[in-house]
Structure 1
Amino acid sequence: MLSVSETVAIDAPLSDVFAYMDDPHNQAEITPSLSDVRSVEDRGDDGKRLDYTYTMAGVSLDGTLETTTYEPESRVVFDMVEGPLSGELTWEFETTDDGTRVTYSASYELPSSVLEAVVRPFAERYNERELETALQNLKTRLESA
Structure 2
Amino acid sequence: MVSVSESIWIDSPVEPVFEYLDDPYNHAEVTPSVTNVRNVEGLDNGGKRLDCTYTMAGVGLKTELEQTVHEPNRRMVFDMRSGIDGELELRFADVNGGTEVTYSAEYDIPGRVMSKVVKPFAVKYNERELRAALENLKQRLELEAESET
Specify if TM > 0.5: yes
- Correspondence for 1:54: 54
Contact 1:46/1:68 (<8 A) preserved: no
* Deviation, structure 1 residue 83: 2.3
**Does residue 1:29 correspond to 2:29, yes or no?**
yes
Cα contact 1:6–1:131 (8 A) shared by 2: yes
SS in structure 2 of the partner of residue 76 of structure 1: strand
Where do 1:11-90 residues align within 5 Å?
11-80=11-80, 82-90=81-89
Q: C-alpha root-mean-square deviation of aligned residues, in Å?
A: 1.2
1:106 maps to amino acid: A
In the TM superposition, residue 114 of structure 1 has moved relative to its aligned partner by: 2.9
TM-score (norm 2): 0.92
Q: CA deviation at 1:118?
A: 1.2
Equivalence for 1:118:
117
Report the Cα distance in structure 1 between the residues aligned to 2:61 and 2:132, rounded to whole angstroms: 20
* 1:37 positional shift: 1.2
- Residue 139 of structure 2 corresponds to which residue in structure 1? 140
CA deviation vs aligned residue, 1:19-48 (integer Å, no higher than 9, x gap): 000001101111111122111111253411
2:58 aligned partner, one-letter code: G
1:38–1:52 CA contact under 8 A, matched in 2: yes
Give 5+ residue unaligned stretches, structure 2: 145-149
TM-score w.r.t. the length of structure 1 is 0.94
Count of aligned residue pairs for this structure pair: 144
Pair 109,74 (structure 1): closer, same or farther in 2 beyond 3 Å: same
In the alignment, structure 1 segments of 5+ residues that lack a partner are: none
SS at match of 2:73: coil
- C-alpha contact (below 8 Å) 1:49/1:65 kept by paired residues: yes
Using the aligned pairs only, state the percent identity: 56
Q: Give runs of ≥4 in structure 1 deviating > 4 Å.
A: none
Matched to 2:18, the amino acid is F
- 8 Å contact 1:4–1:105 — kept in the other structure? yes
SS in 2 for 1:29: helix
* Residue 107 of structure 1: aligned partner: 106
